[in-house]
Structure 1
Amino acid sequence: DATELFSRLTRRLVRILQDRTEHGYVFRTDLRLRPDPGSTPLAIPVEAALRYYEARGQNWERAAMIKARPVAGDLAAGAAFLKELQPYVWRKYMDYAAIADVHSIKRQIHAHKGHGEIAVKGHNVKLGRGGIREIEFFVQTQQLIAGGRFPELRGRETVPMLGALAARGWITADARDALTRQYWFLRRVEHAIQMVADEQTHILPDSDEGLKRIALMLGFAGEADFTQAFRASLQQVERHYAALFETAPE
């Protein structure tokens, strides 16, 4: 049975990718991100996957597919599958479902506004307030809304897409420049964290000594200078991220 065979192969591949050895591991792999994980085998026919995305796919899955690409095995088959998904990801009409999702997230932003100063110690550089994910979401939301009509907005990389959005007039040059600058700064912080921890983590140390080490690695004179620059970066990202929703209804 092909389904059982390819499910076994998938399990074996995942073990190879994420089992820890003396050399570390390759990638963490989340099998829950496949189509309908609660009721489908690990490997399903292409036609079944296409039916799922067309009938039940969520906007977060559309956003994930913006960055999808085949990396191993039959690359031509992978490319053909992604081509079949193009109408699902890039809709020609104004995407009111995506906009409704944006409005929901806007309400969540308002719910945590005014919660005081952003903490630096223990902050999640990727998922926390003003972090990398907010820049990515800022870009991907507008890609989902407009990419169906403007093919130049369908790129996978965040920084080039900031430029494309500015060229199309969807964002200002100031937003493009500020978010590009902060994206690379936050990535440098993330890399320093991971070099120290020797694992895929995004959380700053919660001790003075640990924070000072990160600061010195990034070229700052000490913890205080880094804290000031880091907090200013998060606040700038948060302002642009929140501005994306200012005209959205409650």
Structure 2
Amino acid sequence: MGKDSFCNKNDTKCLSTSCQNDSTCKDFSKDGSCHCSGTAINLDKDCDHEKDPCFSSPCPGNATCVSAPGERRVLCRCLPGYSGTTCDTAIAPCGTNSCQHGGFCHQDPVRPVCICPAGYAGRFCELDHDECASSPCHNGAVCRDGINGYSCFCVPGYQGRHCDLEVDECVSEPCKNEATCLNEIGRYTCICPHDYSGKCDSTRIPDDVISILFNVTEAEVTYYVPSNCL
């Protein structure tokens, strides 16, 4: 039996070779080079440089590839007129009737933008802003929402845009004959001088006169006679 039958040539250079970044050494190769993993690039044969994720050009021509150091993921930065994760979706320019309720379409470098008129919101100005949501009407008034505005319907006794002003029922001087008018919510009261009643425009006949005229007792006396009848 020859001497070479039990002896194998030790040509394994990988025993002293350090392949980095999860790479594999090519055993029995002449130069002991490394087989680089998917995350490394073969420089100086030891795969000690990490491969740039943008090296394979994952983003299309209408985007710029951006990678963060130490990370394998990439970000495609879209050029104007494109959108999507890989910037493969072309953005449609302003079309007819794209903005609702009279909104104006502005062609932004990234995407079209609707400039909404007052009272409307949303991407396409499709949302009517509820001006009554902030409860602008007071004192039990009813708020009715409108386009870019609202209306307050006041209960009796109040006035003003927000129904926050009390109505002065005495301003028209409803009480006569120098009577005192007391303003109240939604009404007024007349404090009449002697011998007047109602709005102080009716004269009350004294009880003794009624007794003489009608020969009746005070318990049978009824009420008032308008002054123009005396």
| Larger Rg computed on CA atoms | 2
Structure 1 or 2: more strand by fraction: 2
Higher relative contact order structure (alpha carbons within 8 Å, sequence separation ≥ 6): 1
**Per the shorter chain, which TM-score range?**
under 0.3
TM-score for the superposition, normalised by structure 1:
0.16
TM-score for the superposition, normalised by structure 2:
0.17
